[in-house]
Amino acid sequence: MTESEDQEPLEAAEDVSTPLEAIESRLVIEALLFQSAEPLDETLLQAHVQDGRPVRDILDELAADYAGRGIRLERHGRRWAFRTAAEVTPHLERTEARRRRLSKAAMETLAIIAYQQPVTRAEIEAVRGVPVAKGTLDQLVEAGWVMPKGRRDVPGRPVTWVTTSAFLDQFGLAALDDLPRLDELEAAGLFRSARPGDVLEDQRSGSEVAFESDGSPGEGDSQGAQPPTDNDRAGDEQPGS
């Protein structure tokens, strides 16, 4: 093999290496601009070019590639940044997920509604042992997790409350049947045993335990709570409840 033949593979390898380095530099510059929320200066970008090419040439190529797309590479003086194309901006809406912080009373009320729905305000109060403040249900309605659904066919016709599909979505449930059972929560230490005066019911299993004031098991109401009093009915008819 002659000396010229020995050199041909080396020359071919050198021809391939130069454009490969150019492509790598371009990818690095594109990634830097993409991950930055602020425009980047050409001097900073030039420091990341390994093949010695002028960064302005690379930027001009990228700008040409992104022309006509939903995002554009824009130059502001010597600073460059990816920005949304002006013509599509009116069609975009920025949404932010806000974490809702519920009070203890709201969480207790939500749990009662989830397990005993449809349930009235009086029945919620019978389980919690304290009156339900108007703002508690308002907070749950505003969150989109509960809603009124008809009226109970009893004297006073109190409003009944149920959970919504947004409640299932928030807590990662496919259906109400996916809620942990009350006995499972108690076994895990996340739920206390019933106290005198409490009425606890899991509508899915139909099981119900009511406790009299002396702590002995008693006969629960068919709706999972004692019949509402006149004061309870008046509370159910308050606006916004």
Tell me the per-residue pLDDT of 54-111, one tens digit each, with 9 for 90 and over: 999 999 999 999 998 999 999 888 889 999 888 888 888 766 566 668 888 998 899 9
Among 134-148, 170-184, 215-229, which stretch is predicted with the lowest mean pLDDT?
215-229
Backbone torsions φ then ψ of 157, nearest 5 degrees: 45, 65
- Residue 222 and residue 112 in one domain: yes
At residue 42 the predicted structure's pLDDT band, cuts being 50, 70 and 90, is: very high
pLDDT at 58: 92
User: 5 in a domain, yes or no?
Assistant: no
Q: What is the mean pLDDT of residues 153-170?
A: 89
- Residue 143 and residue 227 in one domain: yes
User: 98 in a domain, yes or no?
Assistant: no
CB 194 within 8 Å of CB 207: no
- Residue 49 and residue 127 in one domain: no
pLDDT at 99: 64
The last residue of one of the domains, among 68, 91, 114, is: 91
User: 59 in a domain, yes or no?
Assistant: yes
CA distance 119 to 48: 65
State the residue range of the domain holding 82: 16-91
Parallel/antiparallel/unpaired status of strands 146-151 and 159-163: antiparallel
- Residue 114 and residue 231 in one domain: yes
User: 3 in a domain, yes or no?
Assistant: no
- Residue 154 and residue 232 in one domain: yes
- Residue 83 and residue 110 in one domain: no
Q: What percent of the chain has pLDDT over 70?
A: 66
pLDDT at 104: 87
User: 58 in a domain, yes or no?
Assistant: yes
- Residue 113 and residue 65 in one domain: no
pLDDT at 241: 42
CA distance 93 to 206: 46
- Residue 124 and residue 47 in one domain: no
- Residue 56 and residue 170 in one domain: no
pLDDT at 12: 43
**Does the CA dihedral 27-30-34-39 come out positive or negative?**
positive
pLDDT at 239: 45
For the chain, the straight-line distance linking the first and the last C-alpha, in angstroms and rounded, comes to 96
Which DSSP helix (H) or strand (E) runs through 7?
helix 3-35
Residues in the chain: 241
CA distance 3 to 209: 98
- Residue 112 and residue 183 in one domain: yes
- Residue 117 and residue 190 in one domain: yes
